Amino acid sequence: MSRWVYRRDPVLFTTELTTLRTSRWPAEHLLLAAFDGEGVLGAALQMRDGVLLVNGLPPALAKEAAATLAPARADLPAARGTLSTAEAFGQAWTEATGAEASASCEETLYRLGDLVAPDGVVGEPRLAGDEDAELLGEWLNAFFIEAFESESNPSASRALLRDIADAGGHVVLWTVDGAPVAMARIHGCLLGMSRIGPVYTPPSNRGRGYGAAVTAEAARHARRHGARDVVLFADVANPVSNAIYRRLGFRPVAECVQYGFGECGATSPGAADPVPSCTAP
C-alpha cells in the first residue's frame, strides 16, 4: 500500500522508491501506512540503518504515527524527510518518547533541467566492470568516511556494490589515459526517475573538473535508458558541489533534513547499518 503514496511523485519520493527496490530488510524493520477507511493517507518506511523515511507522512499525521510506533520502536535512531515532514515527526517523537531530537544532514534535492555539460575536461567516460570492484569498494568506503564521518567499513561498501548491480544500476567512471579518476553511481530507471549518487573524486584528483564531467555523463546515461527525471542530493553545507550541480543544469526541488534521536528512559539507540542514509544509497 505504501507504494501508492510514493508513486504519486517519483522525484520527491526518490529515496523511498529506491529503498523499496534495493533494500534487503531485516524482519524487524517496518513499513507504515496510514488509512482513513477510504484510502492511504501517508506512509513511512525504515532504511537498513533503521532511519525512518517520513517524507510520505503528512505533518498532520505525525503525532498519531509517533504514538503508534513508540511502544514498538522506542530505539528509533533517526527520521528523515522534507523540512516540514521531518520537523513534525521529530517533535512528535520527542513528545511520545522523551528522546531529544537534533537536526543534521541538511540536503537539497535537485532535478535536472537542460543538461549543460562541462567543456575541456581531459579524459573520457566508461561504465565500471567487474575488474573495477576492488577500486570502487575503496572509493565508496572513503566517500562514507569523508561525507558522513563514518567508521571504515569495507564490507558495507561491497554490499552497496552488490545492491547497485542487483537493482539494475551502474557506476560511471571518468578515466584519464585509461585510469579511473572519478565515479558516479546511477540508480536504474524507476517510474521514469533515476537518481545519481554518490559522486566521488579522490582528493588527489580534485580541481580538474572530473566530478562535473562524470556527473554529466551519468545524467546522459540515465536519460538514454529512459529517465525523464534525473535527480540527485547535495549537502547544503558544501557550496562547491551545489554550484557544480547548478551549472550542470540541476534545479532545486526540496530541502531535506534528518533528525537524530538521543537516548530516553530505559531505551538505547539500536545498532545502525554502516551504510549512511543521509545521501540515500
Domain extents for the chain? 2-109+255-261, 111-252
What is the grid cell recorded at 39? 484510502
Given pLDDT bands bounded at 50, 70 and 90, which one contains residue 276? very low
Q: Which residue has the cell 553511481?
A: 185
Above 50 in pLDDT, residue 279? no
Residue range 20-34: average pLDDT? 73
Q: How far apart are CA 20 and CA 2, in angstroms?
A: 10
Beta bridge partners of 126: 173
Beta bridge partners of 3: none
φ, ψ of residue 124 to 5 degrees: the values are -150, 160
Q: How far apart are CA 62 and CA 44, in angstroms?
A: 10
Q: For the purposes of burial, counting CB atoms within 10 Å of the CB of 55, is it exposed (0-12), middle (13-18) or buried (19 or more)? A: buried
Q: Say which residues have a Cβ less than 8 Å from residue 239's Cβ, sequence separation at least 6.
A: none
Q: pLDDT by residue (tens digit) across 153-203?
A: 888 788 878 877 888 899 999 999 999 999 999 999 999 999 999 999 999
SS3 154: helix
Above 60 in pLDDT, residue 27? no
Domain 111-252 CATH assignment equals 3.40.630.30: yes
Residue range 76-99: average pLDDT? 97
